[in-house]
Amino acid sequence: MAVIPMFPLGVALLPGERLPLQIFEPRYLALVDECLNRSPQPEFGVVLISHGHEVGGGDQRTDVGVLARIISAYDLPGGRQRLECVGTERFRVQEWLPDDPYPRAEVESWPDDAGSDIDEDADALVNGRVTGLAQLAAELAQRSGGPPPGDPLADLPTDPMRRCFALAARLPLGQADRYALLAAPDAQAGFAVLATALDDLTAAVKFRMMDPDLP
């Protein structure tokens, strides 16, 4: 276990996903300074805020998060900073420490199970739902005059858990679904979360297409 600086956010960051941040609050400016100038690795933990807001504290935080590695940082006017980060590995929060001078927690690493696999039916089920959703989204874009969507299944990682995370990052999932996926114990459970979320997305797109004002 290790004590790391923490950045609670209103988003569930996924491993492999990019995270741009604009830092302006003094405690998080101090966190960034610590990461960049006083730590062997320029990284911090990101957890989803389940209730409340990150500005000013007083939030309720989830117990599973992702390490965010800073890959670039530059100053902005007004004492702000711009960061580009990428999610790396999962962790579980064991204990929150006082937010002084910024949020910190004792965490335990939770590596993805590289040996885990999924059965072919689960893989085919998710791929079929993604393909169906992409077709509906393309039809909706054509009718509304929007840009055509890309192919969510293109160039995904081969590792099942990483593929699950990468696919989710390309879909317009709600934060509850993203967190459920992040907290899934293995790839099989992760694909089950994705299948349910895809059903909800498909239903939402079909409802949108019933709008009588849509061309």
Residue 213's SS3 state is coil
| Share above pLDDT 70 across residues of the chain, in percent, rounded to a whole number | 93
Q: What is the pLDDT of residue 210?
A: 78
116 pLDDT above the threshold of 80:
no
- Quick one: pLDDT at residue 117? 66
User: Please, which residues have CB within 8 angstroms of residue 95's CB and are 6 or more apart in sequence?
Assistant: 105, 106
From the CA atom positions of the chain, what is the Rg in Å?
19
Q: Please give the model's pTM, rounded to 2 decimal places.
A: 0.88
- The stretch 185-212 carries a mean pLDDT of 88
State how far the Cα of 188 lies from the Cα of 78, in Å rounded to an integer.
47
Q: Which of 9-18, 49-58, 96-105, 124-133 has the lowest mean pLDDT?
A: 49-58
pLDDT number for residue 168: 94
The helix or strand, by DSSP H or E, that contains position 110, with its residue range, turns out to be strand 104-110
Considering the chain, what percentage of its residues have pLDDT values greater than 90?
60
H-type alpha helices, the chain: 26-37, 120-144, 160-169, 175-182, 187-209
Q: Are 181 and 190 in contact (CB under 8 A)?
A: yes
In the prediction, which pLDDT does 215 show? 58
